[in-house]
């Protein structure tokens, strides 16, 4: 039997990576084989693309190039990791997927969302998550968390994290619009709450898929 495909989405610093690991651990305790992956990335080539889209550089990708890089990364991880895992019956938990393209490159950068959906169908061959957990945080919280992490690790913000305030407001609204259009697939979670509280809401949502 095909496994289930769960994605985490939302603005930066919403706690996706934290909750991806927590959900994977919990699903394993429920007896599921779980594959954790992320976008951009998840295969050797896709991780190289991740560097290209995130790194600050003198001649950064123009928006159309950025779109194609994210889509190229997705084509690799879908065909080499996600589809084979689902076919084996494993559950796949993915840190970002297609909705990030619609929110960031569509609502954020202004590329036509329907055009992006058509391109996305091409690279995913129509693969849609069974459930998408939208971890919502306002830009202020996102900024505070990333600043705290940067102070603790001496890391610097990446090219997209450091895009302007309006960009982040637009993409957050974009996520809401996407969730509103597909209420059965999306679960919108107020991710300003404590990690444990968010994890409990995520588990309740995942229980529905466990049947």
- Residues lying near ligand T5A in the complex (CB under 6 A): 12-18, 39-40, 54, 70, 95-96, 100-101, 104-105, 145, 149, 160-161, 191, 194-195, 198
In 10 A of CB 48, how many CB atoms? 13
Residue 94 CB, shortest distance to ligand T5A, in Å, is: 9
In the bound state with ligand T5A, the residue whose beta carbon lies nearer, of 33 and 65, is 65
Would you give the DSSP letter of residue 3? -
Dihedrals φ, ψ of 190, to 5°?
-75, 100
Residue 90 CB, nearest approach to ligand T5A (Å): 21
DSSP for 62-118? PHHHHHHHHHHHHHHHIIIIIHHHHHHT-EEEEES-HHHIIIIIIIIT---HHHHHH
Closer to ligand T5A by CB, 85 or 191: give it: 191
Nearer to ligand T5A, 15 or 129 (CB): 15
Here the tokens at position 164 are 């302007």
What is the closest distance, in whole angstroms, from the C-beta atom of residue 198 to ligand T5A in the complex? 5
- Least CB distance to ligand T5A at residue 122 (A): 14
* Strand segments (E) across the chain: 5-9, 34-38, 91-95, 131-136, 186-190
Q: Which residue is nearest to ligand T5A (CB)?
A: 15
- Residue with smaller CB distance to ligand T5A, 16 or 172: 16
Q: Is 152 left (phi over 0), alpha (psi -120 to 50) or beta?
A: alpha
Please state, in angstroms and as integers, the Cα–Cα distance from residue 100 to each residue in 10, 25, 134, 160, following that order. Answer: 7, 24, 10, 12
CB of 131 closer than 8 Å to CB of 206: yes
Please, what is the minimum distance in Å from the beta carbon of residue 71 to ligand T5A?
Answer: 8
Residue pair 95/171 in contact by the 8 Å Cβ criterion: no
Q: Which is nearer to ligand T5A, 2 or 149 (CB)?
A: 149
Of 51 and 84, CB closest to ligand T5A: 51
Query: Least distance (Å) from ligand T5A to the CB of residue 53?
Result: 6
């Amino acid at each position: 039997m095909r496994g289930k495909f769960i994605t985490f989405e939302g603005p930066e610093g919403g706690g996706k990576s934290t909750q991806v690991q927590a959900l994977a651990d919990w699903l394993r305790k429920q007896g599921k084989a779980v594959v954790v992956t992320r976008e951009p990335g998840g295969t050797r080539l896709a991780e190289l693309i991740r560097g290209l889209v995130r790194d600050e550089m003198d001649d950064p990708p123009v928006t159309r190039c950025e779109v194609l890089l994210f889509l190229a990364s997705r084509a690799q991880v879908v065909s080499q990791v996600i589809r084979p895992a689902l076919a084996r019956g494993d559950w796949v938990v993915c840190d970002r997927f297609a909705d990030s393209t619609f929110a960031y490159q569509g609502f954020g950068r202004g590329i036509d969302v329907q055009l992006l959906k058509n391109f996305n169908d091409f690279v995913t061959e129509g693969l849609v998550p069974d459930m998408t957990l939208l971890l919502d945080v306002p830009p202020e919280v996102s900024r505070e968390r990333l600043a705290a992490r940067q102070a603790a690790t001496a890391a610097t913000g990446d090219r997209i994290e450091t895009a302007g305030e309006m960009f982040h407001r637009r993409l957050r609204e974009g996520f809401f619009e996407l969730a509103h259009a597909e209420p059965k697939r999306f679960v919108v979670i107020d991710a300003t709450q404590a990690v444990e509280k968010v994890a409990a809401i995520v588990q309740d949502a995942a229980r529905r898929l466990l049947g």
